Structure formats: structure tokens, C-alpha cells
């Protein structure tokens, strides 16, 4: 099966990145302004994306190897086995959580499966039904009793956007997706970001990247997203960068950390910014600090799979030598960390979450998901 195309990244950039916006920002580099000028014209934007060197259309050597493929096969089999009858995954604290259901569905889709088609088409369909059953009239995607639902809402909206991008004739998915996007737009705070609850009072980088990816996926699939929402999100993310190139949790003073730095860099890429000093400084920080090969391994690091998920996307979108160097190290560690039963372990969020994240990362070179295409 070949990947099903979606709206290309240069159209997103043309829609959301403009000279007028970047020109208002005193901290924007000349490279960023030039990149925005190119993005303002579709053909020039396409050329700029190619020059930017992202890996979407420029595979690195040896992106897929036998050990990786074996790990993927075992991981998918494990995830299918532990899926609950209602389409959710897991038990305990994060059992039947909409974010984990969405990530599990995305993990199967990254193998080329869609509802009703593929080895794991049934599993994708069940995850989709779980998400749709937990769609509120307000557009919020969350199970009853969920606290801080915007994390889950962002991942679930991304899942719906990827589903709809592959099958735009599904009216139920479109309806839920439009309402979910409207909720994201309406809950953006004055700083330009989002936080745990669907009210525009606060923001942090971690939740903001979830919503930016959801907006990008929906826009790729043809859903209208206001340019102003993206402009404000970009402004917020920039305001969270520290002088060392890393990103802090919020606009208020704080320390840098590699998982949220990866989220910050990925946010800018998904907002259609491909050449920018903030991105380069963030990537440099990740080169020096991202937690692959750390003493003690993944279990010694907080938010390891979250960090892997976004760092791999950031390096993939950067392409070139950064992507090749990161990918070999990240892939080797993920393959090494797989358990005998095919799962990956996260003692806080559970095996279904960690396994879904690891599988999405390992299958990124397959380029099946529209969000990973250009």
C-alpha cells in the first residue's frame, strides 16, 4: 500500500506564514524573514521546503533495517492483543484514556492500516469508534472524569485529522473533527498557547504542541484553520525559548529540558516555519541534550517516550545530517528497550502508551501518515 497523499506542507506554510507577521517580531532573524517570503508564494514555498532539507521526501540511508522491522511486528501484535473490546487500551491510571486510544490508532495507521483495510484495519476502526463515542457536544474529545483533558483532546484530534485526510468521505469524522478544531481555536489563550483545560486562561509548551499538530493535520485534510491562530501559537512558542536554545515549560522564567525543547521545535516546523534562528538553536540544544544513550537508560529519564516522539519528529523535519545521526541512535535504543512480549515500558503512563509512542517513532520512515508527508 502506498501512502495516501494529503495537502502539502508548502500550502500550509503559504496559508500561515507571512512576511507581515514575522516582520512584527523584533527577534526574528533575517533567515526567518526570507523563509516567510518564500512561503508566501506556493511555488517558492515548495522550493523553500526542499531547500530546508526535511526528510519527508529525502530518505536517509538505511532508514529501515531488519531489527527495526522485527520490533515493529512484535509491537503491533502486542498492541492488538491488549486493545480493549471498546477500542481503548490499557488499564489502571491511564486505562481507557482517549489520548492512548488515539496514539494506539496512529501506531496502527503508521503501518499503513486504515479503518476496514489492512492487517490491523479492525483495530484502527475500533479505536476510531472509541474516540467518536467520547465526543461531547462542545467538541471536546475526552472520557468522563478526565482531568486536564486538552492533552488527550490534542492527540485525539490529530488522530481524527489523519483518518479524515485518508478518507474525506466520512461525514461522522468530519463533524467531530470540525467541532474539535473549533474548540481548540476558541480555547487559545491571550499568550497564544493552550493548557490542560479548554478555557483560554493559561498555556504551556507541552500542551501547545499537541494542539498545533492537531491544527496542522486538520488543515492538511482541508479543514479551515484561521491563520491568526497559528501566528499567535508561533509567537507563544518563541517566547518560551531560553538563551541556551532550549525551551522552558511556560513563558515565565524556567529551565530548559530536552522533551519540551523538542516540542517547541516541532511546533515551529508544524506551523510552517522551516528556516529560523529559533529552530537552529533548538536543534543545537537537542544535539547536546536529547536523552538517547543517557546513563541509566530510558527508565531513568522523565518523559522519555514523549521526548523521543517529538525529538524524532523535529530531526525528521530538519532532515540531513541531523536526521541521520539522531535516527540511528534513537532506533537502536528503542529496539534494545523492547520487552520480550513486544511492549515498551513506561512506569508512569503504562505499556500501551509507551508501545504506541515507540511504534509511531519506529515507523516514521514508512511515511504512511499524512502528517509525516510533505
Q: Tens digits of per-residue pLDDT, 19-57? A: 222 222 223 333 333 333 333 333 333 333 344 568 887
pLDDT in tens, 204-234: 999 999 999 999 999 999 999 999 999 999 9
- Evaluate whether 370 touches 217 at the Cβ level (below 8 Å): yes
Angle ∠(164,260,82) on CA atoms, nearest 5: 50
Average pLDDT over residues 269-292: 94
3 assigned to some structural domain: no
Which of 144 and 183 is assigned the larger pLDDT?
183
Q: Report the 10 Å Cβ neighbour count for 288.
A: 11
Dist CA 115 CA 121 (whole Å):
5
The band of 297, judged by pLDDT with boundaries at 50, 70 and 90, is low
Dist CA 302 CA 96 (whole Å):
22
Provide the domain limits for residue 36: 9-289+300-372
Entry field: residues in the chain = 374
Q: Report the 10 Å Cβ neighbour count for 330.
A: 21
In this prediction, residue 300 carries a pLDDT of: 63
The whole-chain average pLDDT of the chain stands at 86
Residue 235 has pLDDT above 50, yes or no: yes
> Which cell numbers in the block locate residue 115?
479503518
Average pLDDT over residues 110-138: 97
**Least confident stretch, 33-42, 120-129, 191-200, 242-251:** 33-42
Write the CA distances from 133 to 3, 20, 136, 222, 352, integer angstroms. Answer: 28, 42, 9, 23, 20
In this prediction, residue 55 carries a pLDDT of: 84
> Which cell numbers in the block locate residue 283?
536543534
Average pLDDT over residues 120-149: 95
Residue 149 has pLDDT above 60, yes or no: yes
Q: Which residues contact 277 (CB under 8 A, 6 or more apart)?
A: 28, 29, 31, 32
2 assigned to some structural domain: no
325 assigned to some structural domain: yes
> Which cell numbers in the block locate residue 257?
529540558
SS3 364: helix
In this prediction, residue 37 carries a pLDDT of: 35
- Evaluate whether 75 touches 340 at the Cβ level (below 8 Å): no
Dist CA 68 CA 77 (whole Å):
14
Ranges of H-type helices in the chain: 9-16, 19-23, 30-39, 42-52, 66-82, 98-109, 121-133, 150-166, 171-186, 205-220, 227-239, 258-270, 277-289, 304-318, 320-337, 351-362
Cα four-point dihedral sign 95, 100, 104, 105: positive
**Grid cell 503491533 in the structure block, residue:** 76
234 assigned to some structural domain: yes
238 assigned to some structural domain: yes
Based on the structure, what is the number of domains in the chain?
Answer: 1
In this prediction, residue 361 carries a pLDDT of: 98
Q: Which residues pair with 204 in a beta bridge?
A: 194
pLDDT more than 90, % of the chain: 74
In this prediction, residue 144 carries a pLDDT of: 86
94 assigned to some structural domain: yes
Cα four-point dihedral sign 334, 339, 341, 343: negative
Residue 191, domain CATH: 1.50.10.20
Under the phi-then-psi rule, with left for phi > 0, alpha for psi from -120 to 50, and beta for the rest, what region is 297?
A: left
**Grid cell 515498551 in the structure block, residue:** 344
pLDDT in tens, 169-201: 999 999 999 999 999 999 999 999 999 999 999
In this prediction, residue 298 carries a pLDDT of: 66
Average pLDDT over residues 329-341: 96
295 assigned to some structural domain: no
pLDDT in tens, 85-101: 999 998 767 778 999 99
1 assigned to some structural domain: no
Backbone angles phi, psi at 146, to 5 degrees: -70, 130
Q: Which residues pair with 135 in a beta bridge?
A: 141
In this prediction, residue 45 carries a pLDDT of: 36
**Grid cell 530546508 in the structure block, residue:** 52
In this prediction, residue 59 carries a pLDDT of: 79
Distance of CA 331 to the CA centre of its chain: 18
In this prediction, residue 61 carries a pLDDT of: 78
Residue 143 has pLDDT above 80, yes or no: yes
**Grid cell 543517557 in the structure block, residue:** 294
Average pLDDT over residues 259-271: 96
In this prediction, residue 301 carries a pLDDT of: 76
Cα four-point dihedral sign 244, 246, 248, 252: positive
The band of 202, judged by pLDDT with boundaries at 50, 70 and 90, is very high
Amino acid at each position: 500500500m502506498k501512502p495516501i497523499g494529503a495537502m502539502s506542507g508548502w500550502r500550509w506554510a503559504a496559508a500561515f506564514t507571512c512576511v507581515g507577521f514575522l516582520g512584527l517580531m523584533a527577534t526574528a532573524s533575517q533567515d526567518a524573514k526570507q523563509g516567510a517570503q518564500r512561503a508566501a508564494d506556493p511555488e517558492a514555498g515548495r522550493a523553500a521546503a526542499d531547500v530546508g532539507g526535511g526528510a519527508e521526501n529525502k530518505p536517509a540511508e538505511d532508514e529501515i533495517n531488519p531489527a527495526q522491522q522485527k520490533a515493529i511486528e512484535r509491537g503491533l501484535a502486542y498492541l492488538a492483543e491488549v486493545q480493549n473490546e471498546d477500542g481503548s487500551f490499557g488499564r489502571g491510571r491511564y486505562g481507557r484514556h482517549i489520548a492512548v486510544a488515539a496514539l494506539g490508532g496512529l501506531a496502527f495507521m503508521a503501518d499503513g492500516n486504515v479503518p476496514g483495510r489492512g492487517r490491523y484495519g479492525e483495530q484502527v476502526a475500533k479505536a476510531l469508534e472509541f474516540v467518536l463515542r467520547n465526543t461531547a457536544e462542545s467538541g471536546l474529545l475526552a472520557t468522563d472524569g478526565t482531568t486536564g483533558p486538552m492533552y488527550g483532546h490534542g492527540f485525539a484530534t490529530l488522530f481524527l485529522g489523519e483518518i479524515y485526510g485518508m478518507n474525506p468521505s466520512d461525514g461522522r469524522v468530519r463533524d467531530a473533527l470540525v467541532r474539535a478544531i473549533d474548540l481548540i481555536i476558541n480555547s487559545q489563550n491571550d499568550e497564544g498557547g493552550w493548557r490542560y483545560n479548554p478555557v483560554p486562561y493559561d498555556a504551556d509548551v507541552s500542551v501547545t504542541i499537541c494542539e498545533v499538530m492537531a491544527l496542522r493535520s486538520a488543515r492538511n485534510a482541508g479543514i479551515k484553520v484561521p491563520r491568526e491562530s497559528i501566528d499567535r501559537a508561533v509567537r507563544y512558542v518563541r517566547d518560551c525559548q531560553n538563551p541556551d536554545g532550549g525551551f522552558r515549560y511556560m513563558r515565565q522564567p524556567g529551565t530548559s529540558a530536552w522533551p519540551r525543547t523538542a516540542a517547541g521545535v516541532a511546533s515551529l516546523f508544524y506551523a510552517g516555519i522551516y528556516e529560523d534562528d529559533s529552530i537552529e538553536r533548538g536543534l543545537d540544544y537537542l544535539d547536546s541534550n536529547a536523552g538517547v544513550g543517557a546513563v541509566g537508560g530510558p527508565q531513568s529519564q522523565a518523559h522519555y517516550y514523549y521526548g523521543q516522539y517529538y525529538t524524532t519528529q523535529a530531526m525528521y523535519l530538519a532532515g540531513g545530517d541531523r536526521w541521520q545521526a539522531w535516527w540511528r541512535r534513537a532506533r537502536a535504543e528503542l529496539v534494545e528497550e523492547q520487552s520480550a512480549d513486544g511492549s515498551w515500558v513506561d512506569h508512569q503512563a503504562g505499556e500501551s502508551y509507551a508501545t504506541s509512542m515507540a511504534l509511531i517513532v519506529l515507523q516514521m520512515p514508512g511515511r504512511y501518515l499524512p502528517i509525516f508527508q510533505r
